[in-house]
Amino acid sequence: MLEQLVPGDPVVREYLQVLVFGLPFILMMGKLFFGSWAGFFECVRFLLTPDVVSILRGEWGADQRGTAKLFLFLAITAGALYSAHSHFFP
């Protein structure tokens, strides 16, 4: 059925399947890590803010926690998607 929806390269279909079926896991982990979209965007803001600016604002500790939380979230979700891909498409 997916071959009819997404014609072309089977590798693209594999990645699309992993992403579509992994989306609930990504959203669940995002809710667990950040609590809401506002928490996620706050971590992105801390990631994009230079450390010197965070130090001057007195937000250095929150900046470090937010950046680490975002990288940990990305590492866990990327690892889970890679694991699902290697398990279902050997």
Tokens of 65: 């926690």
Q: Where are the domains of the chain?
A: 36-90
What pLDDT is recorded for position 20?
86
What pLDDT is recorded for position 49?
94
- 24-35: pLDDT as tens digits: 999 999 999 999
- 49-83: pLDDT as tens digits: 999 999 999 999 999 999 999 999 999 999 998 88
- Packing angle of the helix pair 60-88, 37-48 (nearest 10 deg): 110
**CA distance to 2, 35, 66, 84, per residue, from 90 (Å):** 19, 34, 35, 10
Least confident of 3-7, 39-43, 45-49, 79-83: 3-7
Say what the pTM is.
0.80
